[in-house]
Chain A
Amino acid sequence: MPARTEAAGRRVRPLGLRYVLTEGAQGFARNGLASAASVLITAVTLVALGGALAVAGALNHVAAALEQQLQVVVYFRPGVTPDEVVVARSRLERMPGVAGIEYVSSQEALRRLEAQLGPRAKFRDLLRHNPLPASLVVTATGSDRLRAIASAARDLPGVDEVRDGGLVLERLLGVTRAVRLGGAAAGVVLACIALVVIAGTIRLTVFARRAEIEVMRLVGATAWFIRWPFVVEGAVTGACGACGAAAAVAAGYALIAGGAARALPFVPLPGAGEVAFDIVWKLVVWGVLIGVTASLLAVRRYVRV
């Protein structure tokens, strides 16, 4: 007979959070490899979802920055006369929705570019002529005015090209929507796979404990009481997967954003820390949701009262 002390053997555990958490954690630990597979598939699912969220978030960030600029830049052709500039400026000033106009000479444009690129660029050494045109930077009162101002500016004398912030913004928002949609579609497909894998794993626990479940039903334990430990097991699986996925997405983002920042210094990308903070709670919510749904699927048949 195994040695048993009375104090250890004869105790009734109070019901509550601790009971449920202990039972759930035991189920998770007992399944070992199967639990690890569940966490892995959940992480893969959430990496797809988190990747899409991170990319869409970064694009949104860029779009928001562009939207705040509310600018139409009117570039003059080379050799524009001062009179033409004055005429263009006074016509634009009379347009509704124009909040302000700033003239940027070609020397000023070169100075600003050098300031933005820092000491790496030495244009003055490379180029004999300043290639940058003079321009008018028109600030609009709202983003809805950008298109009208831009199309009017195109017909002005001496104007070569007009860069419409509104158009860029629209395209960017289009790309953001596509990324979101693609991410959601991939997420749904992968979530279904994760659901099946997690449910299969939890079913192992249900099977290992079927005698206990049978006794619980017999002595009048409520259905929710019987389910709780399995729900906890599912939630733990989902949360572990989510944390792994968030770490992977943040690391991936840091890598890509670092490269992007070097290649495209004009684009204002959000920092990796900011992105991680933004997606981690969303992924945990989704992970837990998937885990809990899977556990309810797994016990549905066995815990019918």
Chain B
Amino acid sequence: MVRFSRVSKTYANGVAALADVSLEIGTGDFVFIVGPTGVGKSTLLKLIYREELPTRGTVSVEGRDVTRMPARDIPFLRRRVGVVFQDFRLLPRKTAWENVAFALEVTGTAPPHAERRVTELLETVGLAARADALPRELSAGEQQRVSIARALVHRPKLLLADEPTGNLDPDTSWEIMRLLAGISEAGTTVVVTTHDQTIVDRLRRRVIAFDRGAVVRDDAEGVYAGED
């Protein structure tokens, strides 16, 4: 699904986010990317949905080298890769329903199909009852559910979540993580960056640990901290 081949990324301001990273994420995997803040976890995700280009190396998604992708193809890559953020990025003046619908609207989905899809997604994330609430009327956990529903509108094969529980209390975090795990079980590849040790240790999934731009550990059923 995703393959990094000797990828390095140095930003224009001189910060080296990734140094010679090679890794592979298989179809249907659920992967935690862990490590302290500022070690290149977000950069890793940005390279996958082509928000950033690597300085060296190649990144391929579904067998396609996204580093050589022409600009006009990028929107179509992003319809196959859903992204969720710590700060939700919802539009404050649109309801939950409208926020999800917006993603379908601006990509030219036929209204009858789009309307069915929005309702169905809000049920999937357990927010059908709160569909007409504005983001400020929703709890943080509910807002994150809306943003997950939005990321799923195009039935992506790959879902990226950048610190999705960073703003949530432990109970809500666990619910969101269970939702993501459920999405993974339905066949979507899920990549989650986090530094929530409790959740990582509890879910026992593949853990890739980063430090200073390099992979320091990659365990199939890992925990947050290495036992070495």
Contacts and interface: CB of A to CB of B under 8 A. Distances in A.
Interface string A181-217: 0000000000000000000000000000001101111
A184 B181 CA distance: 66
Interface string B102-120: 1111111111001100110
B72 A222 contact: yes
B64 interface: no
Given A10-B131, A11-B115, A220 B75 contact: yes
Given A4-B95, A12-B118, A305-B71, A219 B110 contact: no
A10 B97 contact: yes
Contacts of B111: 11-14
A219 B107 contact: yes
Given A9-B132, A14-B111, A222-B72, A215 B103 contact: yes
A220 B115 contact: no
A83 interface: no
Nearest to A10: B97
A220 B107 contact: yes
A17 interface: no
Contacts, number: 85
Contact of B109 (A1, A12, A216, A218): A12
Contacts of A4: 95, 132
A6 interface: yes
B22 to A, nearest CB: 27
Interface string B149-193: 010011000000000000000000000000000000000000000
Given A9-B97, A12-B115, A215-B91, A223 B131 contact: no
A167 interface: no
A197 to B, nearest CB: 28
Contacts of A217: 75, 78
B65 interface: no
Given A212-B91, A225-B108, A219 B79 contact: yes
Contact of A14 (B78, B110, B131, B134): B110
Contact of A6 (B79, B106, B107, B132): B132
A220 B137 contact: no
Given A9-B98, A9-B132, A12-B118, A218 B83 contact: yes
Nearest to A211: B91
Given A12-B109, A13-B105, A220 B77 contact: yes
Contacts of A222: 72, 75
A219 B132 contact: no
Nearest to B112: A12
Contacts of B131: 10
Contact of B79 (A10, A14, A220): A220
A221 B102 CA distance: 10
B106 A216 contact: yes
Contacts of B102: 212, 215, 219
Given A12-B111, A12-B118, A219 B89 contact: no
Interface string A144-187: 00000000000000000000000000000000000000000000
B45 to A, nearest CB: 12
B5 to A, nearest CB: 23
B220 interface: no
Nearest to B90: A215
B74 interface: yes
A10 to B, nearest CB: 5
The 5 closest A-B pairs by CB, nearest first: A220-B78, A220-B79, A219-B103, A221-B106, A12-B114
Interface of B: 50, 71-72, 74-79, 83, 89, 91-92, 95, 97-98, 101-111, 114-115, 118-119, 131-134, 137, 150, 153-154
Interface of A: 1-2, 4, 6, 9-15, 211-212, 214-223, 225-226, 305
